[in-house]
Amino acid sequence: MKRIAILVSGGDAPGVNAAIEAAARWLAAHHAEAWGVRGGFAGLLAGKLEPLTPSAVAGIGARGGVLFGTSRERVLGEPDAPERLHRVWADNRLDGLLVLGGDGTIRQATKIVYEWGYPLIALPCTIDNDVPLTERSLGHDSASNRALPLIDAIRDTASALPGRLFVVETLGGSTGHLAIAVAFAAQADAVAVPEIKADAVAVGRKLAAAVEQRGYGLAVACEGIGRMADFCDAVAAAAGYRVRLTALGHTQRGGPPSAADRELARVWAELGAAELLAGAGGQMLAWQAGAIGTVPLPDVFAAPPKAINRQWYEQINE
């Protein structure tokens, strides 16, 4: 019976558990075994594998987090890493590895395939949606959805007591994809992202105009723009109104995945499992022009950072 290991590395993302459940169930239905790696690449090199039977994964697709945990430890560069992986692979009689993670994880995964020769398929999973050569990453839709009811709630109090400005801080690290997606969907008055130096005076003027129109102004800012308190102070000074900051923080990364993420998780996980059972490897599954695609891992490795949606950025801020 063939054995496929499933590993998650980097920040968790809603939909990862749905992918684990789908892959494990698909493999069991096709007379193969799924094994979960506890704690990312560090857990893999330490041989921390556990069986993912259909009963072990039953219902986990509805939950955020990662059934067997993840890790940000970058262990593949350690001198004894190839030898340790070789031993774990042989001892556990593995036939393939399904890796779920973001940009950094997928770059690390390339080493396992192309330098060391193991069959591996990668699934882009990150709320940041910053993996190159794919329009979607698992978790991004859920994280965007998580922000919207909270912004709606801010609008209630904002319109009840006029004369204030609101800045909502999203996660996203040093990339603005998540902030732009949230700001566009929420129809915010402005958005600030790390890729473009924020003009706090212009944001302040735009928010002040919004106050004149309907009592309050609302901006979305990515956590990675620099010191958020300084940005808020500069916006307040330019607008002449008080700024109240709400940092969404890790509420955006947890919680149940959206329907769109659960669907994508299932489609990608089943395809990835099937490719590995068929002996294929070296690909990242992607979403391109509205359809499932595959990209050779070296292309992802060599790609420049994924560009933000400038059209939406300008439309929000105009």
Q: Which residues are catalytic?
A: 128
- What does the alpha-carbon distance between residue 24 and residue 52 come to, in Å, rounded to a whole number? 6
Residue among 126 and 144 whose Cβ is closer to ligand F6P: 126
> Sign of the CA dihedral 265, 34, 122, 285?
negative
CB-based contacts of 131, cutoff 8 Å, min separation 6: 102, 103, 106, 124, 137, 284, 300, 306
Residue among 70, 105, 126, 144 that touches ligand F6P (CB under 6 A):
126
Range in contact with ligand F6P (rule: CB under 6 A) among 84-92, 120-128, 180-188, 291-299: 120-128
Q: Which of residues 66-105 bind ligand F6P (CB under 6 A)?
A: 102
Range in contact with ligand F6P (rule: CB under 6 A) among 107-115, 169-177, 212-220, 225-233: 169-177
Token pair, residue 143, equals: 């994280």
* By the rule CB under 6 A, 218 interacts with ligand F6P: no
* By the rule CB under 6 A, 23 interacts with ligand F6P: no
In terms of C-beta density within 10 A (0-12 exposed, 13-18 middle, 19 or more buried), how is residue 48 classed? middle
Torsion angles phi and psi, residue 210, rounded to 5: -65, -35
Q: Which of residues 248-267 bind ligand F6P (CB under 6 A)?
A: 253
* By the rule CB under 6 A, 172 interacts with ligand F6P: yes
- What does the alpha-carbon distance between residue 143 and residue 147 come to, in Å, rounded to a whole number? 7
Residue among 138 and 211 whose Cβ is closer to ligand F6P: 138
Cα-trace Rg, the chain: 21
Residue among 97, 171, 236, 316 that touches ligand F6P (CB under 6 A):
171
Torsion angles phi and psi, residue 27, rounded to 5: -65, -45
Min. distance of Cβ 159 from ligand F6P in angstroms?
A: 30
Min. distance of Cβ 75 from ligand F6P in angstroms?
A: 17
* By the rule CB under 6 A, 11 interacts with ligand F6P: yes
Count of residues near ligand F6P by CB under 6 A: 11
Question: How many CB atoms lie under 10 A from the CB of residue 289?
Answer: 6
Min. distance of Cβ 154 from ligand F6P in angstroms?
A: 20
- What does the alpha-carbon distance between residue 203 and residue 183 come to, in Å, rounded to a whole number? 13
What residues line the site for ligand F6P (CB under 6 A)? 10-11, 102, 126-128, 171-173, 223, 253
